[in-house]
Structure 1
Amino acid sequence: MKYIIDRFEEGNAVCEKEDRTTILVERALLPPQAGEGDVLIYEDGRYLLDSAATLERRKRMEEKRKKLFG
């Protein structure tokens, strides 16, 4: 299952699931370098960063920003 880190609140990450619902994940369970906007994969009982998906997502967001604001 994939998640996107939306924000951090009081030691937890608010993560959006693929169906757009959110869950709270303890910050301690995430990779230390995980940040807002990163894509996570939950696999074998742990959260891993999906660097390729994060990069692609950020690229799409930048393209949308350019279309909207020039």
Structure 2
Amino acid sequence: MRYSVERIEENIAVCEDDDGSVLKLKLYELPQGIREGDIIDRTENGFVVNSAETESRRKKMAEMQRNIFGKKRK
């Protein structure tokens, strides 16, 4: 299962899957250095950051923001 880290509140990461289901996890259950916007995959050994998917989604969001706000890429 894949989740997006939507926000971090104190020691809890609020995560959401593609269907909109919310999962609240304690930070110690997640990889060290987890950040809002990271994409995590649940494996049989716990959670891992999916770096490729995280980067892809961040680029997509940046492009959408440029389109909305009309800023040119430098």
TM-score range relative to shorter protein: over 0.9
Distance 1:60 1:8 in 2: 22
Distance 2:26 2:45 in 1: 13
User: Are 2:12 and 1:12 aligned?
Assistant: yes
Distance 2:46 2:19 in 1: 20
Distance 1:16 1:49 in 2: 14
Partner of 1:50: 50
* Structure 2: stretches of 5+ with no match in the other structure: none
> Larger Cα Rg: Structure 1 or Structure 2?
2
* Structure 1: stretches of 5+ with no match in the other structure: none
Q: Give the aligned length.
A: 70
Q: TM-score, normalised by structure 2?
A: 0.90
Partner of 1:23: 23
Stretches of 4+ aligned residues off by more than 2 angstroms: none
Q: TM-score, normalised by structure 1?
A: 0.94
Percent identity, aligned pairs only, is 36
User: Are 2:30 and 1:33 aligned?
Assistant: no
